[in-house]
């Protein structure tokens, strides 16, 4: 009976529009009151939920992304991407995607990409004759690559929840992130080639332009090399790597543009705000997850759905459908902490590798960040581009299709995810 009240209250509050984090907090508090548990249990469980060394990577990667936006590093990345692919049919649409891939290797945040690099991308595309809606759609879609390619804040959280190696998860996200980028570039090419979108043909960059842009962007491009190289060489952990990246961005940003204390303080402020909301979600979800586990809700759910899981492929297909639906209505981190226990039970039942599961979850749930009604990236790009939701969503329709196809390929071809982790960081080194 207590479980029924618990679930009814949770879904009832969600239906009333209460944010997910507050819904989990209120539901957990009411459960503890009904169960006669001491008030201190709530505080202890919540504080224990964020007492993890690996979670320190979250504010550091956020800080790195904010610093790159504030210190002008993102513009150099965009200019380098421009000289590489601006001449291809689709022009700056491809530049937009490639720049997001490069930026993803340093920030790990879709919102940081959309709000910082996105502003540069949309402005450049509009100035070169691209429509606002197309510019915004490409920017929103490409920003989702940020949490897939390492480093990834979302994969750090999944690694914490699943007790999986963050290093292997980082490596696992590399090829799927590139696959999503290629899928988006394919859509850009088709839309422009068929005349559905207009894009001016830009000249191929000369060798001198490529060399100059590369040298200007080289310090920034070395950040992911240092990060992944240090992790693979065992010099530092993924969490320690996040601090190294912040120091490195501070150094190169200060050398190239001068030490701007005001910009650094603004980046700190933005980081603190985002970190607080992220860790609050994780803290209350720790309490909520503990209650779910003691009520054995994940086990009961898997048992109830056992008839639908006739094979490993059917289980993966059902997971994708669930993630697509949940991603439309819940913020990614909140959904991740809520669903991970159940998904891990399903994965263990069908021998699905947990690194493969984590990357599959992140790739699929990124689609939800650009869909209404709760898409954070969608709202960020709407604000940057000054465009209405309906217009942006209509322009995003072909990009949704590309991302769903990429998610299906990642889900049903495990080696796309597992090739690099198995090659460079075998399980024995977890």
Would you call the peptide bond into 130 cis, given omega within 30 degrees of 0 as the criterion? Answer: no
Among 65-69, 210-214, 383-387, which stretch is predicted with the lowest mean pLDDT? 65-69
Of 64 and 188, the structure prediction assigns the larger pLDDT to: 188
Q: Per-residue pLDDT for 428 more than 80?
A: no
Among 52-61, 161-170, 323-332, 408-417, which stretch is predicted with the lowest mean pLDDT? 52-61
Question: Residues 117-125: what's their mean pLDDT?
Answer: 87
Among 78-87, 367-376, 416-425, which stretch is predicted with the lowest mean pLDDT? 367-376
Across the chain, mean pLDDT equals 85
Q: How far apart are CA 254 and CA 242, in angstroms?
A: 18
| Residue 73 pLDDT class (50, 70, 90 cuts) | confident
Residue 257: its pLDDT value, please? 64
Domain ranges in the chain are 51-429
Residue 308: its pLDDT value, please? 67
> Is 331 in a helix, a strand, or coil?
coil
Of 402 and 305, the structure prediction assigns the larger pLDDT to: 402
Each residue's pLDDT tens digit, 306-348: 566 678 898 899 889 888 888 887 778 878 877 888 888 888 8
Secondary structure (DSSP) of 107-124 = H--HHHIIIIIHHHHHHH
Residue 148: its pLDDT value, please? 94
Tokens 């990614």 correspond to 332
Q: Per-residue pLDDT for 13 more than 90?
A: no
Burial of 15: CB neighbours in 10 Å, binned 0-12, 13-18, 19+: exposed
Question: Residues 369-395: what's their mean pLDDT?
Answer: 87
Burial of 74: CB neighbours in 10 Å, binned 0-12, 13-18, 19+: buried
Structure tokens at 288: 């909520």
The H-or-E segment that residue 126 falls in is helix 118-127
Residue 235: its pLDDT value, please? 85
């Amino acid at each position: 009976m207590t479980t029924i009240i618990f679930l009814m209250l949770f879904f009832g509050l969600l239906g009333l529009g209460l944010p997910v984090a507050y819904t989990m907090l209120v539901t957990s508090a009411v459960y503890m009151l009904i169960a006669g548990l001491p008030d201190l249990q709530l505080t202890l469980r919540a504080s224990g939920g964020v007492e993890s060394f690996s979670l320190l990577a979250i504010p550091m990667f956020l800080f790195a992304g904010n610093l790159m936006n504030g210190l002008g590093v993102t513009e150099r990345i965009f200019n380098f991407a421009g000289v590489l692919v601006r001449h291809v049919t689709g022009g700056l649409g491809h530049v937009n995607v490639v720049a997001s891939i490069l930026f993803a290797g340093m920030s790990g945040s879709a919102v940081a990409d959309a709000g910082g690099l996105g502003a540069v991308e949309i402005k450049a595309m509009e100035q070169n004759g691209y429509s606002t809606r197309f510019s915004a759609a490409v920017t929103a879609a490409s920003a989702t690559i940020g949490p897939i390619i390492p480093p990834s804040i979302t994969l750090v959280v999944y690694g914490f929840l699943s007790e999986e190696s963050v290093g292997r998860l980082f490596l696992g996200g590399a090829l799927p992130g590139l696959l999503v980028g290629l899928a988006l570039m394919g859509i850009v090419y088709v839309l422009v080639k068929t005349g559905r979108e207009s894009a001016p043909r830009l000249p191929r960059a000369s060798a001198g332009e490529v060399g100059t842009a590369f040298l200007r962007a080289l310090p920034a491009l070395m950040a992911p090399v240092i990060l992944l190289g240090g992790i693979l060489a065992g010099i530092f952990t993924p969490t320690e790597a996040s601090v190294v990246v912040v120091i490195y961005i501070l150094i190169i940003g200060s050398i190239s543009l001068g030490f701007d204390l005001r910009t650094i303080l603004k980046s700190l402020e933005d980081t603190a705000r985002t970190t607080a909301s992220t860790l609050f979600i994780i803290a209350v979800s720790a309490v909520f997850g503990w209650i779910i586990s003691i009520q054995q809700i994940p086990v009961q759910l898997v048992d109830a759905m056992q008839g639908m899981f006739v094979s490993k492929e059917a289980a993966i297909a059902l997971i994708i459908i669930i993630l697509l639906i949940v991603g439309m209505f819940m913020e990614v981190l909140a959904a991740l902490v809520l669903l991970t226990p159940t998904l891990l039970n399903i994965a263990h039942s069908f021998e699905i590798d947990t690194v493969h599961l984590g990357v599959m979850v992140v790739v699929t749930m990124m689609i939800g960040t650009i869909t209404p009604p709760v898409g954070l990236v969608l709202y960020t790009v709407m604000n940057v581009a000054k465009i209405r939701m309906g217009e942006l969503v209509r322009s995003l329709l072909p990009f949704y299709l590309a991302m769903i196809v990429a998610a299906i390929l990642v889900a049903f071809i495990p080696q796309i995810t597992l090739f690099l982790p198995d090659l460079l960081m075998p399980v024995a080194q977890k």
